[in-house]
Every structure is written in structure tokens, then in C-alpha cells.
Amino acid sequence: MKKFKKEYLNEAFDKLNFKELTDVQEKVYQLDNQKQNLIIEAKTGSGKTHAFLLPILESIEENGGYCQAVILAPTRELALQINKFLKELTEHSPKEIKVDLITGGLDRDQIISKLNSRQPDILIGTPGRIHDLVFKENVLKIHEAKYFIIDEADMTLDDHFIVEVDHLASVASDAKFWVFSATIPEQLQPFLKKYLKNPLVISVHPEEISNLNISHYFIKSRERKRLVVLEEIIEAINPYLAIIFCNTKESVEEVNEFLLNKKANVMMFHGGIPYRKRKQLIKRINNLEFQYIVATDILARGIDIVGVSHIINYELPLDTEFYIHRTGRTGRVEMDGIAISIYEFSDNQYLDKLESKGVKTSYKEIKNNKFVDVNIRNKRDYRKKNETKIEKIARANVKKPKKVKPGYKKKYRQKLEIEKKKLHRMMKK
């Protein structure tokens, strides 16, 4: 195992049962002694949170008297988790390390009072609240920061936060900028070029950490209501802990009510729930008080939940990257996981894109409460690709009727066969 300069970090590693640094942790740790801006592309499960926490803790002065590291996260839940990881690492520190967690939902007056008396060594929070305390209240001083960390950058730098992050970055312009994200979308490039001069890009290969121990099942709705298909899925599994992902809080509430009526041990989690209650729910989830969680994508990024055996996509996420994030909640720490998604005929192009990303799809249906294989999803497409030249010409010549009448398929096939025979005779002449 890697030995750290500060002995309390070695003690923390032993207590957390970490055997060695992950690939991304090793690379970032080695580069920390350089004043190097970094862009780190790392997928779910790569250990990226510790990749920036460990170098920060190795380098900062305990009780330095000024804010030495700023860590920005897109959600309160992720900020809370980073804070939790930091506490685990600093538990045995012989000197006090002042860490402030600043997000919405916390006592504003209490935070301002604390900052008026002293500055944190490490600051963790969401951009909006930190921006307010730096510029409006003028009680938070980040101009001397050595590190400026942007976690889950594709979310932290979206349209909602980009202005606030831009202002904060301009104040901490002498810091090392480290940007972490599963993907770096094109729209982030202007910000990255502005603040990260000659950055080094570290990309952890997806195939190394893409949770290869997840089975990806896809079940076609066949024009049935999704709740009907979901009920079949629930009756076919007995999860240790399952997260059912929906695209809207309205869907979450509908599914949650449906499962409560089925006497399932279920709770719901979405952004419309007050922060203090969400904080309590995270603790209850990790205490394994529920068998099912119905959630929006607020649980898809960064949040560590132990013991997730199944992911169910009640609705496929609009972005295929979020499919990777959602399913990455299971199959962690060498455990097996199953991801089950309900799809429709209109999702074929979406599924093609997933398969092009390396997702090994299995198409299933449920019979007698068991998952059984079905024919390949795009069988018709393969048939068309394998058609002979004559078959293609015949299909082009014989138009399908605009008005559908009983027996039209049989009549169409008969006309097609007649046309193919006609073409065969023509070719022989």
C-alpha cells in the first residue's frame, strides 16, 4: 500500500480497509507536487473523491488560518458525502483541520458567525451558497486557496451554476484547478480554456472501471403500461436493495404510491423533498431500512449507497451517460449487480448507442416470475440487411397499403413473392 507522508492518513487507509490507490488516485497523487492544472475524466467507481482529498490533506497546513482548498459539488448530497469522506480521513489527525460544509438548508446566520471568527482550512459546498458568502456577505475569503476543485463538472458547470463558478474561479485564480467529471462536454471548453492554462488531461479508461460485473436486462413494454411491467419485475426479483429510477418527481411519486399499495418496503427520493429530510433519508438508506428506493437522477451521481443489488430504469434517462451513472450504483466493490430497464420500440436508436458504448445488453421477458431470453431486439433490421438484391428491388416495387385492412399482411407477402418470381424470370432472360 502507498505510504503517505502524514501518518494519520496511513492509519485512516488501514481503518477503511483500502489496500492500494486506484489508478486515478495514483496518477493525481503523483502530480500533486507540480503546479499543474488537471482535467480528470473518471467513471463511477474509480475513487475520484479520494483522488483529490488525499493530495489536499498531504499538502495543507493544519490551522493555517486561511482557506487553502475550495471543493465545489453540484448537489447538497454530494457535498455531504465529500465531507463524510474527509472526516473519515482526518479522524486521527493530531492537529485540528477546520472543514466547513456550506450548502443550502444549513443555518445561514450560524455559518456567517463562524466565518467572521475564522476561515476554514478546507471548504466544501455548492456554488450558489459559496458565491453568496464570498460576494454578498464578504465573510468567506478564498483568494489564497491552493486548490480549486470542481467535482462532477458537467453538472457543476451547467447553465444553472456557470456564472457563480466563473466568479469564484476569478477570485481563486492562483490556485491549482482540478476538474473531475465522468465526461467533459463541449460546452465546458470555454470555461476550461479561461482558467486552466495548459492542463494535463487524465483519462481513466472506461473498460477498466465500467462495472463489468453488471448484467444489463432490457424488457420491452409491448405497449403495456409501465406499472404493469414494473409489477412483473418486482415479482421476479428479491433485491437486497433496489433503486428504481424515474425521470421526473411526478413519476417517482406515482411509482412510490403504487409500491406502497403493494405493501413493498419502499421510500422515495427527489429534489422536491426538503434537504433536512433528504439528509435523514440518506442515513436510513445506508442503514438498509428499505428494500426499494424510487428516485430521480439526484441519486445517480456521486452518492455512495452500500448494498445496491438491483437498478430498475422505470424510464430510460434522456442522456445515455446517465444510464451509465445510474447503473453504476450497483455492481460495486467486486459485487454482482443487475440493471433492468423498461424500453419501447422508439428506444431502438438509444439502445444502439448504449451498445456502441460497450454495454452488453440482454433482452428478456418475464415468464412464471423468471427472466427468459427473447429474440434479438432488431431482428427485422438484420433481416433487411441480409436481403438479396432481388428482395430489395421487390420490396421497393411493392408498396405497402396506406389503409390497413384485415389480412393486409398476407396479401402484401403474396404480392412480394409474385414480384420476386417476376424479377427472377427477368434476370434469367
More confident residue, 396 or 131: 131
Cα–Cα dist 323/314, whole Å:
12
Cα–Cα dist 291/307, whole Å:
10
- Res 320 pLDDT > 70: yes
* Any domain includes 372: yes
Question: Averaged over 295-300, what is the pLDDT?
Answer: 90
- Whether 11 and 158 map to the same domain: the answer is yes
- Whether 169 and 216 map to the same domain: the answer is no
Give the pLDDT score at 405. Answer: 62
Name the CA dihedral angle for 172, 173, 178, 184, rounded to a multiple of 10 degrees.
110
In this structure, of 125-139, 226-240, 289-303, 322-336, the range with the lowest mean pLDDT score is 322-336
Residue 404 binned pLDDT confidence (cut-offs 50, 70, 90):
low
- Res 54 pLDDT > 90: yes
- Whether 157 and 49 map to the same domain: the answer is yes
- Residues 58-113: tens digit of each pLDDT: 999 887 889 999 999 998 889 999 999 999 999 989 999 999 999 988 888 999 99
* Sequence-distant (≥ 6) Cβ neighbours of residue 329 within 8 angstroms: 44, 243, 299, 300, 303, 305, 308, 311
Cα–Cα dist 212/49, whole Å:
21
Give the pLDDT score at 385. Answer: 45
CA dihedral over 406, 410, 416, 422, signed as positive or negative: negative
Give the pLDDT score at 381. Answer: 45
- Whether 42 and 159 map to the same domain: the answer is yes
For the record, the C-alpha cell of 144 comes out as: 489564497
Place of cell 424510487: 294
For the record, the C-alpha cell of 206 comes out as: 472506461
- Whether 223 and 369 map to the same domain: the answer is yes
Place of cell 472526516: 87
- Whether 300 and 236 map to the same domain: the answer is yes
Cα–Cα dist 184/179, whole Å:
9
Give the pLDDT score at 376. Answer: 67
Give the pLDDT score at 378. Answer: 59
* Any domain includes 2: no
Distance between first and last Cα of the chain: 79
Cα–Cα dist 134/132, whole Å:
6
Structural domain span for residue 23: 7-207
More confident residue, 270 or 390: 270
- Whether 277 and 330 map to the same domain: the answer is yes
Cα–Cα dist 128/126, whole Å:
6
Cα–Cα dist 261/256, whole Å:
9
Cα–Cα dist 342/274, whole Å:
29
* Cβ-based neighbour number of residue 72 at 10 Å: 28
- Res 394 pLDDT > 90: no
Give the pLDDT score at 382. Answer: 44
- Res 15 pLDDT > 70: yes
Q: Which of 183, 207, 231 is the last residue of a domain?
A: 207
* Any domain includes 404: yes
Q: Across 114-123, 186-195, 313-322, which has the greatest mean pLDDT?
A: 114-123
CATH number of the CATH domain containing 334: 3.40.50.300
- Whether 148 and 106 map to the same domain: the answer is yes
- Whether 198 and 214 map to the same domain: the answer is no
- Res 290 pLDDT > 90: yes
Percent of the chain with pLDDT over 90: 52
* Any domain includes 135: yes
Place of cell 418527481: 249
* Any domain includes 1: no
* Any domain includes 280: yes
- Residues 99-118: tens digit of each pLDDT: 999 998 888 899 999 999 99
* Any domain includes 324: yes
Residue 223 binned pLDDT confidence (cut-offs 50, 70, 90):
confident
Give the pLDDT score at 386. Answer: 43
Q: Which of 340, 363, 379 is the last residue of a domain?
A: 379
Among 204, 173, 168, 270, CA closest to 39: 204
Amino acid at 193: K
Put simply, whether the predicted model's pTM sits higher than 0.85 gets the answer no
* Any domain includes 198: yes
Q: What is the CA radius of gyration of the chain?
A: 27
- Res 335 pLDDT > 80: no
- Residues 227-260: tens digit of each pLDDT: 999 999 999 999 999 999 999 999 999 999 999 9
CA dist 200 → 34, 119, 427 (Å): 11, 31, 63
Give the pLDDT score at 205. Answer: 59
- Residues 164-215: tens digit of each pLDDT: 999 999 999 999 999 998 777 777 888 888 888 889 988 875 544 444 689 9
- Whether 311 and 236 map to the same domain: the answer is yes
Domain count, the chain: 3
Residue 422 binned pLDDT confidence (cut-offs 50, 70, 90):
confident
- Whether 339 and 406 map to the same domain: the answer is no
- Whether 15 and 65 map to the same domain: the answer is yes
Give the pLDDT score at 429. Answer: 53
Q: Which of 207, 242, 264 is the last residue of a domain?
A: 207
